[in-house]
Amino acid sequence: MLPWTVIGLALSLRLARSGAELGLPASALQGDLLFLLDSSASVSHYEFSRVREFLGRLAALLPVGPGALRASLVHVGSQPHTEFPFGQHSSGSAVQDAIRAAAQRMGDTNTGLALAYAKEQLFAKAAGARPGVPKVLVWVTDGGSRDPVGPPMQELKDLGVTVFIVSTGRGNLLELSAAASAPAEKHLHFVDVDDLHIITQALRGSILDAMWPQQLHASEVTSSGFRLAWPSLLTADSGYYVLELAPSTDPGAARRQQLPGNATGWAWTGLDPDTDYDVALVPESNVRLLRSQHLRVRTLPEETGPELIVVSHARPRSLRVSWAPALGPDAALGYHVQVGSLRGGAAQSVEVPAGENSTTLQGLAPGTAYLVTVTAAFRSGRERALSAKACTPEGERSRAPRPQPQRTGGREP
């Protein structure tokens, strides 16, 4: 046997042994990756071909294989359609060829329906999905949908799916930020369809990070909770987990949760803001001894909504509204400004992106009292609102013509 072969074998055995001691599998990266492609009539044939080429190149860079990463492609249209299921293709180049051969389906943009279908595919053995491996969804969209996206997307994230969104259109920043996994700056990309190649390497790295076996770790941290995830250490038949949570300053107030052996994640909610919590994951196995894993997580400061609404530049048909913005690590994703007459009738709304704290309300009626409400939306799903009254001034009244002075006597010159 060659000397470098001996060295390589010894190193492999050492790495496998250290991984077993930590309770981590010695196998390579594993995971199920689902590409959700907008194939509806809202996307031009040119845009569809550019996105298809982008996804093909991305797939070619990923370690696709039977014991590694598996990929599937689902079309968004009037009805969702699977182009190919998990496990059908055993290499990145084969997935690339299959994506390039995919034809546009056309029809309506029913993304919510496709997301519910994607949830079934990601966890269905019939679709080639595997239990106990990381799940990743990459959704490429032009930004629009005929049906709601938020609820089915939240169900996916509650099941531990990591969601990446690539928007090539003018999608609603607030809605897409809430739909993507947190933090949005890592999981949401706004890119022109001709510049998709710019994000290929970064997106590839993020996908691999989401799928690589890791120790116990936290994500989606808010002021009232966080999500925990860990590699598959047990099976449903080989044992169970005990998950413990306690404030660092009060260990006696511990909370415990028992989970089945095939669990790989859990979300803690109802926690105090700006507080350190100690987490312990205890695998109870009837096959082998596994070490407990420990983690300390600090919740974010309490979310603070808009404060001190100021109305200025009042005109007969417009008002300028400003407010003190939400601050801190868990700052608002954006603001929703609504104005309605105190006399009743239809209200109008304006969306203001994060980072801005003022807007001008147009199309109002002169001499009318209004109620203005500014609502901050946070990543946790919570909202904070503040209202104030404002009044437009009366419009300029038309002036009567000035009477001409009456001449008495005399002759005109």
pLDDT band per the 50, 70, 90 thresholds, residue 20: very low
Spatial CB neighbours of 328, under 8 Å, sequence gap ≥ 6: 300, 301, 303, 304
Determine how β-strand 135-141 pairs with β-strand 31-38.
parallel
Residues 104 and 199 reside in one and the same domain: yes
pLDDT band per the 50, 70, 90 thresholds, residue 401: low
Residues 207 and 223 reside in one and the same domain: no
Residues 295 and 317 reside in one and the same domain: no
Please check whether residue 21 lies inside any domain of the structure: no
CATH number of the domain bearing residue 79: 3.40.50.410
Q: pLDDT exceeding 70 applies to what percent of the chain? A: 85
Residues 166 and 239 reside in one and the same domain: no
Query: Domain range for residue 64?
Result: 31-211
Residues 330 and 356 reside in one and the same domain: yes
Please check whether residue 52 lies inside any domain of the structure: yes
Spatial CB neighbours of 8, under 8 Å, sequence gap ≥ 6: none
Residue 210 near residue 370 (C-beta atoms within 8 A): no
Among 211, 227, 255, which residue terminates a domain? 211
Residue of 210, 92, 234 whose CA lies nearest to 162: 210
Identity of the residue numbered 171: G
DSSP assignment letter at 326: P
Residues 39 and 183 reside in one and the same domain: yes
Residues 158 and 94 reside in one and the same domain: yes
Identity of the residue numbered 388: A
Work out the mean pLDDT of the chain and round it to a whole number: 82
Identity of the residue numbered 66: P
- Cα(19)–Cα(247) distance, rounded to whole angstroms? 30
Residue of 255, 265, 263 whose CA lies nearest to 239: 263
Highest mean pLDDT among 50-64, 136-150, 383-397: 50-64
Please check whether residue 398 lies inside any domain of the structure: no
The number of domains in the chain is: 3
Residue 84 near residue 53 (C-beta atoms within 8 A): no
Among 211, 244, 259, which residue terminates a domain? 211
Residues 284 and 320 reside in one and the same domain: no
Residues 82 and 200 reside in one and the same domain: yes
Please check whether residue 23 lies inside any domain of the structure: no
pLDDT digits (tens, 9 = 90+) for 280-325: 999 998 888 888 888 899 988 876 777 788 888 889 999 999 988 7
- Cα(115)–Cα(107) distance, rounded to whole angstroms? 16
Q: Higher pLDDT residue, 144 or 164? A: 164
pLDDT digits (tens, 9 = 90+) for 375-396: 988 766 677 888 889 999 987 5
Q: Is the pLDDT of residue 328 over 80?
A: no
Maximum Cα–Cα distance for the chain, whole Å? 135
Q: What are phi and psi of 156, to 5 degrees?
A: -60, -45
Residue 339 near residue 365 (C-beta atoms within 8 A): no
Please check whether residue 92 lies inside any domain of the structure: yes
Match 């420990």 to its residue by tokens. 294
Here the tokens at position 300 are 């974010």
Please check whether residue 35 lies inside any domain of the structure: yes
Strands of the sheet containing 293-298, edge to edge, are 255-260, 239-247, 276-285, 293-298
Residues 207 and 224 reside in one and the same domain: no
Spatial CB neighbours of 22, under 8 Å, sequence gap ≥ 6: 215, 291
Residues 132 and 50 reside in one and the same domain: yes
pLDDT of residue 360: 94
CATH number of the domain bearing residue 315: 2.60.40.10
Here the tokens at position 313 are 């530049």
pLDDT digits (tens, 9 = 90+) for 119-143: 888 888 888 888 778 889 999 998 7
Residue of 134, 136, 161 whose CA lies nearest to 27: 134
Residues 255 and 273 reside in one and the same domain: yes
Residue of 134, 210, 133, 206 whose CA lies nearest to 166: 206
- Cα(63)–Cα(52) distance, rounded to whole angstroms? 19
- Cα(348)–Cα(27) distance, rounded to whole angstroms? 56
Cα-Cα-Cα-Cα dihedral of 232, 181, 78, 191, to 10°? Answer: -130
Among 177, 211, 245, which residue terminates a domain? 211
